[in-house]
């Protein structure tokens, strides 16, 4: 499986959920997927604590590259495709331009509602979610202090 390995710090623990802060990499670009402000130097991610973390722990997290690509494709294309289908149905039925516009907007709304339902269903599944691999020991942090500090 093609996965991206990230290192971050646990900044909050609440029950079985933790928040991990990752340094923002230049490879992140400005796609807006993670809803981070352009000037933020970090990304915070909530996830299930499966290994018993404490605030301040450094952790390794795996994120499936395929999942990120599939979800971004779905988010950017699905509502538009549904809206275009609604528009073309109205167009080929000979509806007036105003009704074509209404069909486009209504179909766009349906596309976003469907996307919302898919997102809720996906959030309940374990497939493709980022997961904790291990807590990084203090000695590993010190050993790698001379290397790329953004990774630890």
**Domain range holding 106?**
3-151
Tell me the whole-structure pTM to 2 decimals: 0.55
The token duo for 9 is 């710090």
State whether residue 1 is helix, strand or coil: coil
Q: What is the number of structural domains in the chain?
A: 1
Q: What is the pLDDT of residues 59-117, one digit of tens each?
A: 888 877 666 677 778 888 999 999 999 999 999 999 999 999 999 999 999 999 998 88
State whether residue 83 is helix, strand or coil: helix
Average pLDDT of the chain to the nearest whole number = 78
Which residue bears the tokens 């994120």? 63
Q: Which of 119, 132, 35, 44 is nearest to 78 (CA)?
A: 119
Considering 2-6, 40-44, 93-97, 127-131, the range whose residues carry the highest mean pLDDT is: 93-97
Q: Say how far apart CA 58 and CA 150 lie, in whole Å.
A: 12
* Sequence-ordered alpha helix ranges (H) in the chain: 65-92, 97-124, 138-143
């Amino acid at each position: 499986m093609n996965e991206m390995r990230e290192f971050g710090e646990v900044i909050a623990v609440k029950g079985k959920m933790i928040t991990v802060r990752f340094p923002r990499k230049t490879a992140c670009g400005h796609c807006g997927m993670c809803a981070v402000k352009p000037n933020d130097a970090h990304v915070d991610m909530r996830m299930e604590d499966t290994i018993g973390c404490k605030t301040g722990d450094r952790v390794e997290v795996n994120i499936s590259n395929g999942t990120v690509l599939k979800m971004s494709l779905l988010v950017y294309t699905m509502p538009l495709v549904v809206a275009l289908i609604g528009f073309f149905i109205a167009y080929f039925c000979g509806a007036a331009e105003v009704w074509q516009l209404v069909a486009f907007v209504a179909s766009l709304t349906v596309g976003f509602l469907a996307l919302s339902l898919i997102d809720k269903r996906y959030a309940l599944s374990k497939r493709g979610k980022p997961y904790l691999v291990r807590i990084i020991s203090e000695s590993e942090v010190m050993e790698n202090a001379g290397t790329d500090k953004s990774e630890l």
